[in-house]
A and B are shown apart, each in its own frame.
Chain A
Amino acid sequence: MLLDYDRLGLLKWPLVVICVLVSLFLLLPIVFIAALSFGDSQWLQFPPPGWTLRWYDELFHDSGWVEAFLTSTKIALIVTVLSVVLGLMASLALHKGKFPGKKLLQALFLTPMVLPVVVLAVALYALFLKFNLTGSMLGYVIGHLIIALPFSIITISNSLETFEFALEDAAMICGATPLQVKLKVTIPAIKLGIFAAAIFSFLISWDEVVLSIFMATPGMQTLPVRIWGAMRQDLSPVIAAASTLLIGFTIILMLLAKMVRKGK
């Protein structure tokens, strides 16, 4: 009765109302930002009095924003590759390897996920100041990679759970070298997990704010850092346009991930 939708009786309506309100609450900022970015009100009136592409035009003609966009993309792509490769190696070792302290290592690999990011950011900042790595591509990549790796390991490990490792031995018997086995047997079998790990890693790097604020110098900023800086000055609709692009990119990647999962 309390878990049966059709027999809830009057209780159904307060629950439905709360659910609708929460859903609207969750949707409101997203719709709002997209509307503002196309609205022609400088003072962020909502609903906008008219529509315009002016803010996008300003965005694309400002070399600072364009550069930040390219920097973000470059960093995210490098992080994606490294996170998948290192994550795959770690997952394979954790699944198939035999060595002491496995549980402990597994816990270590997942710690960056639960640690408050600000602690990691400040710690890396201290290190990077010493070695002059702030504002460098390497600095950003290292920071993003550390927080992307746990997601990569979790996703790839999950797909390894159903992989039959005997297949690897079978391929070896048929004369394949260890590298061939990995490339032609193991990786194709878990390619969905690897793809999901890639998308997660990209999005984590692409959206990362806290680490990036500490890594940033005026000469090298990612898109979120630039948005952060702009937000502290004013709430111009150009920020809404940049945010909408970030959201649009995220949605495209999420849909892509969903399509691949369905198409298997």
Chain B
Amino acid sequence: MSADSLLASATAPVPKPKSTRWKGFHYLIPILLLLGLFFVIPVLGLLLRSVLEPSLGLENYKELFGSLTYAKVFYNTFLVATVVTLVTILFGFPVAWLMSMMPARWSALVFGILILSMWTNLLARTYAWMVLLQQTGFINRILMSIGIIDEPLQLVNNLIGVTIGMTYIMLPFLIMPLHSTFKSIDPSVLRAAAVCGASRWQAFWKILLPLALPGLASGGLMVFVMSLGYFVTPSLLGGTSNMMLAELIAQLVQSLLNWGLAGAAAMVLLVITLGLYAVQLHYFGRDKHGHN
């Protein structure tokens, strides 16, 4: 730094910044205008409407938490998010673990598949699942032809469909950060455990799992939070009777024009989401794989 300033002061034509306290701030003016006008103000406005419309007060929140219809929506949302998180961990953990030790060629292949699936258009993936899971769809026909079931299962237009579709979307978001956690574990720790006479079972529970736990918890929390606010997959695979929170917000606005209640529901979703992200940041630091 001192060399720079020395050089700078040694030559005349370098223009001095007008005020050092706000150096470089003017670069931020366009983005601040954009985010201020089209992000901060509209979102705050929406949240404010929850206490202003139709009249000043907490009526909307009372309605949201007091009615059985909305209780069902909250139940669906949390049930799906929980199940999706658990299933994602159950299948993502072994994959991330194996990826961290398999030959580089193979792990690159799995990585490519993860990236491909992640960047495949959301609607395209959801469309595929709608067709695959139909009564006469591929999955039902396969299950029937190998004799696991006699009659086609109802796999779509219910929460099973939503769970399958969402698990599909979330798997890469768990596997990728967890994979880098596994990569960062020093294998010699496990060798040391073996030398000291630990069995595989002991080494897994006492060493590998505790070391992987931060990555697992952080990834799992991220999957849970993202699942809470999903809109497209639940509305296409879930059918009309299995509404989730994001769909409720959209419907309140689009068909019922009840902006006050929509604002309240948005507030609830926002508080939970940002609260859980704060927990994640606090305990696990910044996650480089954070991704929408």
Contacts and interface: CB of A to CB of B under 8 A. Distances in A.
Interface string A92-115: 110011111000010011011111
A125 B253 contact: yes
A29 B229 contact: no
A89 B30 CA distance: 9
Interface string A216-227: 000000001001
A185 interface: no
Classify the interface of chain B: helix, strand, loop or mixed.
helix
B197 interface: no
Interface string B33-64: 01100111111011001000000000000000
A127 B45 contact: yes
A26 B113 contact: yes
B70 interface: no
Nearest to B20: A98
B246 A116 contact: yes
A118 B94 contact: no
Given A33-B128, A119-B249, A235-B130, A126 B97 contact: no
A66 interface: no
A186 to B, nearest CB: 12
A214 B231 CA distance: 12
B106 to A, nearest CB: 9
B277 A114 contact: yes
Contacts of A240: 127, 131
Interface string B148-185: 00000000000000000000100110000000001001
Interface stretch (A12-20, A51-59, A190-198): A12-20
Contact of B200 (A1, A43, A44, A96): A1
A115 B277 CA distance: 10
Nearest to A125: B253
Nearest to A166: B4
Contacts of B204: 2
Contact of A119 (B14, B30, B115, B270): B270
Contacts of B23: 96-99
A175 interface: yes
A232 B240 CA distance: 12
B43 A5 contact: no
Interface in A162-182: 166, 169-170, 172-173, 175, 178
The 3 closest A-B pairs by CB, nearest first: A97-B24, A116-B229, A29-B128
15 contacts: A1-B203, A18-B98, A30-B124, A32-B138, A33-B127, A87-B31, A90-B31, A97-B22, A97-B23, A116-B273, A122-B253, A123-B45, A149-B34, A209-B122, A243-B123
Given A97-B24, A99-B23, A169-B8, 19 more contacts: A2-B204, A5-B102, A9-B200, A18-B95, A25-B168, A27-B116, A27-B117, A97-B27, A99-B21, A108-B35, A114-B277, A118-B250, A170-B7, A207-B121, A231-B123, A243-B121, A243-B127, A246-B123, A250-B119
Interface of A: 1-5, 8-9, 11, 14-16, 18-19, 21-23, 25-30, 32-33, 36, 43-44, 46, 86-87, 89-90, 92-93, 96-100, 105, 108-109, 111-127, 142-143, 145-147, 149, 166, 169-170, 172-173, 175, 178, 203-204, 207, 209-210, 214, 224, 227-228, 231-232, 235, 239-240, 243-244, 246-247, 250-251, 254
